[in-house]
Amino acid sequence: MPKQQNELNHLHVEGVKCDNPDCDYEDMSVEWDDMELTIKTYLHKPCPKCGESLLTPEDVKTMRSLATLIDVSTEISKMIPESMRPEGWDKEITIHADLDGSGNCKLRREDEHETGQN
């Protein structure tokens, strides 16, 4: 699932789920190794359960923005000399991004509840 694997930062996307709040369809077997191919496959594809779109252009735009943010943050982190990096610099932090079809993105750390919206 797309892993933009850089030194400290990476994007990992898992499966697809229906954005209709009244539908519980999800398919976590969908792989995102090739983000553009998966987008092409699922963009506007109707949910097999309720018929609504499984992947919207708004969510694709948000996913691409997140991927760019990760790339930029990695480049910035490379500019900081090792001697100036604080303790715990390389600690992995997992942040979940929940998209709802509108392009809005709710971010939360793995050990927290919802922390905000894009």
Rounded Cα–Cα distance for residues 111 and 115 (Å): 11
Q: Which pLDDT tens digit goes with each residue over 34-60? A: 889 999 999 999 999 999 999 999 999
Is residue 72 one of the residues assigned to a domain? Answer: yes
Is residue 64 one of the residues assigned to a domain? Answer: yes
Q: Which pLDDT tens digit goes with each residue over 8-30? A: 566 778 889 998 889 999 999 99
Is residue 38 one of the residues assigned to a domain? Answer: yes
Query: What is the tally of structural domains in the chain?
Result: 1
DSSP letter, residue 77: H
Is residue 113 one of the residues assigned to a domain? Answer: no
Query: Residues for the chain: how many in total?
Result: 118
- Full domain range(s) for residue 53: 16-85
Rounded Cα–Cα distance for residues 116 and 108 (Å): 7
Is residue 6 one of the residues assigned to a domain? Answer: no
Q: Which pLDDT tens digit goes with each residue over 54-82? A: 999 999 999 899 888 888 888 888 888 88
Backbone phi, then psi, for 103, in 5-degree steps?
A: 95, -15
Is residue 98 one of the residues assigned to a domain? Answer: no
Is residue 97 one of the residues assigned to a domain? Answer: no
The answer, yes or no, to whether residue 118 has pLDDT greater than 50, is no
Rounded Cα–Cα distance for residues 26 and 44 (Å): 15
Is residue 101 one of the residues assigned to a domain? Answer: no
CB 47 within 8 A of CB 54: yes
Rounded Cα–Cα distance for residues 70 and 16 (Å): 21
